[in-house]
Amino acid sequence: MKHAGLALVAAICAALPAHAQAFNANGKNLRQVYEYLHRNPELSFQEKNTSTILAAEMKRLGFTVTTGVGDKFVRGRAMKDYGKIQEGVGGYGIVAVMKNGAGPTLMIRTDMDALPVTEKTGLPYASTIRDVAWSGEESGVMHACGHDIHMTSWLGAARELAAAKDKWKGTLVMIAQPAEEIGLGAKSMIDDGLFTRFPRPDFSIALHDNATLPAGSVGIASGYIMANVDSVDVLVKGVGGHGAYPQDAKDPIVVAARIVTSLQTLISREIDPLDAGVVTVGAINGGTKNNIIPDEVKMQLTVRSFADATREKLLSGIDRIARAESQSGGLTGDKAPITTVRPDGTPSLYNDPVLSGRVADALKASLGEGKVVSAQPTMGGEDFSRYGRTADKIPGVLFWLGAVPKEKIEASQREGGPPLPALHSSGFAPDPDPTIATGVKSLVSVATEILK
């Protein structure tokens, strides 16, 4: 789950890791599949081994399988921006279709990529893989966001639905998506004809594991549940000089400090208190030595919102404030700041209210009322949102899958208890068996309800 990444830096800088090895899911139980996927993670747009395993199993189950969906996007963008493609890099999206008579078309998505995080769980099946991260630096690689749980649940649901075709009618379109973590996977598949080359879905669903809910439970909400995510770079240009003679310079560090302070008023004074927004300055870099005033300062921001109007207001406000504070510091003309919104942001995720009701009813019927909780919106991001943002506006729902052992939750709630490891942390370790079992049961029950 997102954050905005550094576009295709990972894909261009790194080749397929040497750890990739043959694995046949046929005959393997879901725990075995999960442990293999956890032990062998792959970064965004490098999911060659992972996609090969999933595609082979879907073919065995009787799905019509197309691989490499999204490759056209990856290669077109990489050739344009970087002029080369390295071995092992590509769009490894999978589309698996099973037609079973007349009825609706349902798309079920999983994501496949891992994160540049060095695992510290101590699990016997922990990842020891290292690869080149998006920053260009070598790093450990880990499924710290639980995409291995997602894939295993998706595969388990495919097995059950393929074996129970007498219980549903319609068309299943099951997709395995690359590069969710850098916000480009859904876009790569859509741009490569996901909704034109294959049956167009009437509905789409996905699950995402949750680091605060107990394993065996799920959470669902209607309306906005995840945020617009934008990464903004601000280059503050000054006039460098000697730190002892500031009168002869125009200090971009002072201007940048003013920008940081003024940006907070976007939320506190320009956005409706009942609306939601976040403007965080995550990095500010300028200068090399105590007594040197630098020529420029670079700032990196993450911007979050739900409503598109709020998104636009925040982005335009950042540019306005940067320019105004620079002007107040005497920096105009060719010294005006440059504000850049990176193209890899993701739109907010909106759970269709009518479909949310159907999904909630199906989950309660299969898991029990007490296992289905009302989820709260979060300022995290998810590019599953893009599937509902096409011209067709396909109704979609993403629900949360509890992944934490109950005893760990209880321990964390005691005074002085240890905090729960968050998603994207090196210590995140789902409780595999109940989490996967609930994920499979949830996806099957929802699919059966929609395709009944």
Q: What is the DSSP string of 420-448?
A: PPPTTSTT----HHHHHHHHHHHHHHHHH
Classify each residue of 186-205 as buried b or exposed e, where b means 16 or more C-beta atoms within 10 Å of its C-beta: bbbbbbbebbeebbebbbbb
Q: How far apart are CA 184 and CA 210, in angstroms?
A: 22
d(CA 68, CA 65): 10
- Rounded Cα distance, 415 and 305, in Å: 33
CA 37 from chain centre, in angstroms, equals 18
Sheet holding 203-214, edge to edge: 64-70, 92-100, 170-177, 105-111, 203-214, 396-404, 218-220, 372-374
Instruction: Extract the tokens encoding 281.
Output: 């300055």
Residue of 80, 91, 85 lying closest to 44 (CA atoms): 91
How is the chain split among helix, strand and coil, in percent rounded to 5?
35, 25, 40
Give the Cα separation of 432 and 405 in Å (integer): 9
Q: Identify the bridge partners of residue 339 per DSSP, sorted by sequence position.
A: 234
Task: Please identify which of the residues 57, 181, 202, 209 carries the catalytic annotation.
Answer: 181
- Amino acid residing at 68: G
Selecting among 42, 57, 111, 202, the annotated active-site residue is 111
181 has catalytic annotation: yes
Q: Is 119 an annotated catalytic residue?
A: no
Q: Which three-class secondary structure state does DSSP give residue 340?
A: strand
**Residues with catalytic roles:** 111, 181
